[in-house]
Amino acid sequence: MTSWYVVYTHQGSERLAEGNLKRQGFETYLPLCRKITRHARRVAEITAPLFPRYIFVAIDIAAQRWHPINGTFGVNHLVSMGERPVPLPEGVVDEIRTREADEGPVRLAQQLPFKKGEAVHITGGALADQVGLFQRLNEKDRVSVMLDMLGRKLEVNVPLQTISAIA
């Protein structure tokens, strides 16, 4: 009986490991998601692994030779308990696949702590005691807040934990 197992890859080698496992005849699944990155004042939306360093592989332990997985280029090891790989609970991969958008990245339900335009109070940092309007949740638990300073609108990014709702 075929079950899904978890493969732990080398850092940044999820796609490499997936390709090498497919060439060996294994069925694999690498769930992807859309992610916003910032570097040198540039913002880009990229497609990245949903679970960094992990991919899934379907194996029939009784019928397939699974030991070569551990020696595959890009793979660190097959997640195991003792000498045997540990299967995922039934339906986990199917549930992740149902969240995909037409063969694209997995849609993540993002829980916004505030509504856009909601008044918030900055409680810490250099802008402590300022009041502004919540704009959006950014990457790495930072938020954009629109402040009215010196007669003009200024959008600032602050840590999520330094803002609170105005009662």
Q: Which CA distances in Å does 71 have to 20, 61, 108?
A: 10, 17, 33
- Domain borders along the chain are 3-98, 119-165
pLDDT in tens, 102-124: 667 876 655 667 888 999 999 88
DSSP annotation of 86: P
As a whole number, mean pLDDT of residues 69-75 equals: 96
Strand, coil or helix: what is 1? coil
CB neighbours of residue 33 within 10 Å: 17
Across the chain, what does the average pLDDT equal? 88
Give 114-164 pLDDT, tens digit per residue.
888 999 999 888 889 999 999 988 877 788 999 998 889 999 998 888 888
What is the structure's pLDDT at 42? 72
Query: 119-165 is classed in which CATH architecture?
Result: Roll (2.30)
pLDDT at 40 over 80: no
Q: Which CATH architecture has domain 3-98?
A: 2-Layer Sandwich (3.30)
